[in-house]
Amino acid sequence: MLGVRPVKHHPVLLSISDAAVHLGVTERYIRRLVYERRVPFYKVGRLVRFREAELDQWLEASRVEASIGARHRQRPTRPSRHLHRPPRRHRQHLARHARMTPPETPGSPV
């Protein structure tokens, strides 16, 4: 057996679709994780590939421990509309002030 070298075992690299199936998420989410560099990946030419063991380690590192006795309070996903409007009293004051202020005429001193 001259000239025969032992072959190193390389783990199989997963494609984006394989990684999505492995993690139970969409391909779009995997692409976003890659774009944001939040998940370990390899570039093979223009292809993006993953090692299954590294995905499992990443997933385990992302684990959030449950806190015993803590109440779950659901927060709104986006700010309420009323945060973008002035309070009602302020709006009424502005409307009243606008009615009391005479309109500006062109050429009049300010």
Domains of the chain by residue range: 11-62
Closest CA to 53 of 20, 12, 17, 8: 12
Given a contact cutoff of 8 angstroms between Cβ atoms, the answer to whether 35 and 43 are in contact is: no
Give the integer Cα–Cα distance in Å for 20 and 13: 13
- Tens-digit pLDDT string for the chain (110 aa): 567 776 666 678 999 999 999 999 999 999 999 999 999 999 999 999 999 999 999 999 999 988 887 666 667 676 666 566 655 666 666 667 666 666 666 666 65
Using DSSP bridges, classify how beta strands 42-44 and 47-51 pair: parallel, antiparallel or unpaired.
antiparallel
Q: Whole-prediction pTM value?
A: 0.54
Q: How far is CA 97 from CA 93, 102, 109, in A?
A: 6, 10, 20
* Cα 57 to the center of its chain, rounded Å: 20
